[in-house]
Structure formats: C-alpha cells, structure tokens
Amino acid sequence: MERFPYITDYINDVFAKEKTQWDYILLRPLLLVFYFFLRFISFPIKFVLRRKPLGFEGYLIDSCMAFGTKYLARHDAAELFMRHVQIEPILYRHMLTRRDALAHSTGNKLNGIDGVFGVEDTKSIVRNNMTIGHDLLSYELVDRFDKQVFLDNLQYIRTITPGDHRQYSKAVLEQNRKHSFQLLGATNLVLLIVTVITIFGDLKTTIKALNSFESDSIMLWCMKHIYAENTQALIDLDFFMQEVSNRGHYNSSAFFSNPSQYLYYHIVFDEVVYDMLLDRPPTPVHV
C-alpha cells in the first residue's frame, strides 16, 4: 500500500482505498481522454462566442455539483470536498490575521474569506454559487495579502491556531449517505467538476477557475516563515513546491492545465497545512 510520509494519515487512507475501486481503474482513464478532447474543442469556441458570463453559468455548474454530491459521490469523497470547502477559508483567515484586529464575518454564505461555510444541504450549494465562489477565494487572498503586515504579525500568528472546521455544518453529507449510489471517488469527482466547468462556463469564468492556484504560492511562503525554525516541517513543505503548470502563481495556458492538481496538490496541500498548524508547533520542542 502506497503511503507518502509528507501527507496526513487521513489523506493517505483516502487515496489508498480509492486506488482499489473500479471507477479509479476503469472510468478515470476514459474521463481523462474525454476531458483532453473536450478542452481542445471547447476553448476555441469560447474564445470566439462566449468570452463573458451570461449569468446562468454558476447555477448550471452548481446544479451538477449538487447532483454529483447527492447521488454519485462515495461518502469519503464527498466528505473530503466538504472539508476542503470549509478548511480553505479558515486557512486564509489565519494568514491574514492581525494582532489588533477583531475577527468578523461578512455573513456571506459560501462566499468570501470571511463568509459562513456551513453546507446544510445540496440546495444551499446551488443557491449560493458555491463552486465559483470557492474558486474566487484564491484571488481574494492574493488581493488582500500584504507581505509586511504578515511579517509584522508573524510572531503572533505563530502563537495561535486556525479555527475548527467542525464549527460549520456538514449536514449535506447525510444526504449523500442516504441517496448516493456510492459510485465515484475523489479523483473522478474532480474530473467531473472541471469537465462541468469547462462545458458550462464562459471563457472568463473557466480560465479563472482552472487557474485558481495562485493562493497556494502565498500559503507556502507563509508556512515557510511560520516554520522557519522547524526543519522537519520545512522538509515536508518542500514537497509542495510549485509545478511548472498552473501553480507558478502566474496564469498558464488552459490547454495544459492539469485537472488532477485540484486534488493531488491543492486539496492535499490545504489538508497538510491545516494539520500542521493544529498539531505541530512552529518552534520544535527539544527534549
């Protein structure tokens, strides 16, 4: 069984289990080939005919997302994605923390770094445009992040831990448990998400969604500063250095973006960062 030492036990367990499932062995290769040709055909058409959103893209994308969550996803895959929806804004808030600032919520549902991220049912996914809103979090962090402010508050950030994702409702997982045919694991769920975005999204929306990894470079930079005195943590973080495509904190070609990055780099990276901040002190304790 493959187990990688630089990711969490939880993620190792999810991946090890998934690789034994029929959909990973038989369906994943077909979806990858389909997505390759879809992208090759879709983007030139969007460039000519659908450069800007018409207003219904979010509804169609999230309707498909809600359907997949409720009826197709295996429970462990649905849980992983709900965790990610809630953990990511918590991490971004953590990196934007200021010693003298009071925590506040905008009250926006499933949107904005300071929003509310309980997912009570699949209707709330559609009603609040969760998928597009989630992708935009990356751009919001880039816009709000200030290097000097972070460094000025670094010692304080080292003394606190991020919020608990369990404060947010995951009742939508009960719908999955009751209604899902338990067909798709995390990898195929990611492939379906990017396929749906590519089909229904306009050029601007699709490009922004497929390039929403800019925040990862900022998160990695922050973590290396937070754990600058912890060699063991730095070794683990080195395995999340940027790849050439889509994670170099600059826009890259949509034709060469890798849909698997959402899962194997972006989601896994957030899980590792969250676990590290909760359970590993920035300054190691010497016995």
Q: What is the pLDDT of residues 66-76, one digit of tens each?
A: 999 999 999 99
**In-domain check, residue 237:** yes
For residue 207, what pLDDT is reported? 86
**In-domain check, residue 141:** yes
Burial readout 23-32 (b: 16 or more C-beta within 10 A, e: otherwise):
bbeebbeebe
For the chain, how big is the Rg over CA atoms in Å?
19
For residue 253, what pLDDT is reported? 61
**Structural tokens at position 28:** 């994943």
Domain, as residue range, for 162:
26-276
Nearest Cα neighbor of 230 from 276, 178, 184, 167 is 276
For residue 213, what pLDDT is reported? 80
Task: Give the whole-angstrom CA distance, residue 253 versus residue 47.
Answer: 13
For residue 246, what pLDDT is reported? 45
Task: Give the whole-angstrom CA distance, residue 117 versus residue 166.
Answer: 10
CB 45 within 8 A of CB 51: no
For residue 212, what pLDDT is reported? 80
CB 264 within 8 A of CB 6: no
**In-domain check, residue 154:** yes
**In-domain check, residue 8:** no
Q: Is the pLDDT of residue 229 over 60?
A: yes
**In-domain check, residue 35:** yes
Nearest Cα neighbor of 76 from 163, 169, 188, 165 is 188
Mean pLDDT score of the chain: 91
Q: What is the mean pLDDT of residues 229-243?
A: 89
**In-domain check, residue 159:** yes
Nearest Cα neighbor of 95 from 270, 218, 275 is 218
For residue 234, what pLDDT is reported? 96
**Structural tokens at position 162:** 């991020």
Structure-token match 């999810």, residue found: 14
**In-domain check, residue 118:** yes
- Number of structural domains in the chain: 1
**In-domain check, residue 30:** yes
